[in-house]
Amino acid sequence: MLFPSMWKGLVAIFMAGILAGSVSVKAQMVADIVTDEFFDGILNQADASCEGRNFYSRAAFLEALSSFTQFGTADDTRREVAAFFAHVTHETGHFCYIEEINGASRDYCDQNNDRYPCNPNKGYYGRGPIQLSWNFNYGPAGENIGFDGLNSPETVATDPVISFKTAIWYWVNFVQPVISQGFGATIRAINGALECDGANPATVERRVEYYIDYCNQLGVDPGPNLRC
């Protein structure tokens, strides 16, 4: 006979197994979608002289992915993968750039943010697949991932796994929540102030073109509301 406490324990173990199984299946689904052919199809469009060609890799992406089990759980997994890599393609020039062009000359320090104060000797310009920027992003990203984002932001440009982790961290926290609204909402979440509402329609169109291309490659409908 099972006592109530024993029954609850067995149910908890059973449910934990189901959840763990679903997470591993989801991770496997993403790995099956982001094949070598798909990833290299982006990377190989970068010029041979690009520093990113020897930095970004599918292996680094998949290793980073293992820390974010929620990636790929919104909407259709293939559509989310297409959206993520469309933005990454645009931000890095097909994995060419690791750091923002002329980023060191720009000020990305929000002096009013007391929780994540800037180190005056460091720059918080764009780095990595999603071009993480600003002290208020480097700080919490570092806390979550496990590196000193405020005092060692350059880690995002020297460690490819951490670099991809920052991109996925930003994605699941700020982009994934709006993905059901359409690709246009993801553009707004990443760079809306500089691109949306007519600010820079050309860059919006480039992102949309990449997204549609990847959706076609992955055999999924792009859905509505593609622009912002």
Q: Which residues are catalytic?
A: 91
Host H or E run for residue 103: none
Distance in angstroms (rounded) separating the CA atoms of residues 145 and 64: 10
Distance in angstroms (rounded) separating the CA atoms of residues 167 and 40: 18
Closest by Cα among 204, 196, 175 to 81 = 175
DSSP per-residue codes, 22-84: HHHHHHHHHHHHS-HHHHHHHHTTS-TT-GGGGT--HHHHHHHHTT-TTTT-SS-HHHHHHHH
**Per-residue DSSP letter, 105:** G
